[in-house]
Structure 1
């Protein structure tokens, strides 16, 4: 279940919106220029599948989006828990790279979640929108949009990335520190099951 939570940029004390309905999420994000779609998932693609397997499985969807949007490169990024002693350090470094608010001046940030989850935080027009993306979700953040991404302290995800520019991911950091004032991935994930239960069995 995907989850959208919106707060005023002043802080998370007041929840402006919280919904898990895909149509409501898409409608709320569209005025921001943010693309939200759900693609059919491939049950025969394991969470830790290699890049070639992932790209082959989703070739039809990749080709459709690439043709429509003119993407120059497509690749796969993955990070999953491991018994490797170096995993904790690798995960921490990867998380910290994206955790501070930034923009992309020359490209959109478009991701499709093949497996696992992560949260994109969009800071637009005086509000912060936290989009918890899971398997089957595609999110497209327009260039110039201030945002950050949190994969949690123990990342577990595989995602397809789309780029218009061959240089790939280049961020311009704002230095605002706003990301530290809002609930992180682990906090929202801990609340996730409680909200999912309420959404399924409302009072």
Structure 2
């Protein structure tokens, strides 16, 4: 299995932000996307994951193979930590809740309501959903927001375990995750050209 992205161009608010992005990700590999704020990392990830259509190009892998984690933690505050993971286990028809709790050291918080967690604990719970899905491709947008140094290391360990199991990870982040084995793709060279004055109105159609 491989994730092959070919000449992908994406837009935000009708305005092109990236053009001609191509890369291939194979089993056991991680790719880190870099670039300044606003370059289009989130837009690219959402297009790869099938959450919004690209302007052009191809994503050569079924989106059902992917699990996406964006800026929101995607948790239900009135449910406990375990109940949140049980919910996602039911959605994805897996039995990986115990593995997810262990991966993000949530066992001791399993019975606590998610609404009573700290920001970092909520983020860990949100990321633990990725383990529960059982899907081979993790698409992660700034996954370490709200995490302290120890939790970042915990996340990196979880990614390595996923890669060892034959998974893949596509990650947009500004920080060094300590994943020396990951390749890095700088999105700066793929910035879309600014619209010509005659094209300006068309950019918003």
In the superposition, the TM-score normalised over structure 2's length comes to: 0.29
Name the one with the larger strand percent.
1
Structure number with greater Rg is 2
Name the one with the larger helix percent.
2
In the superposition, the TM-score normalised over structure 1's length comes to: 0.30
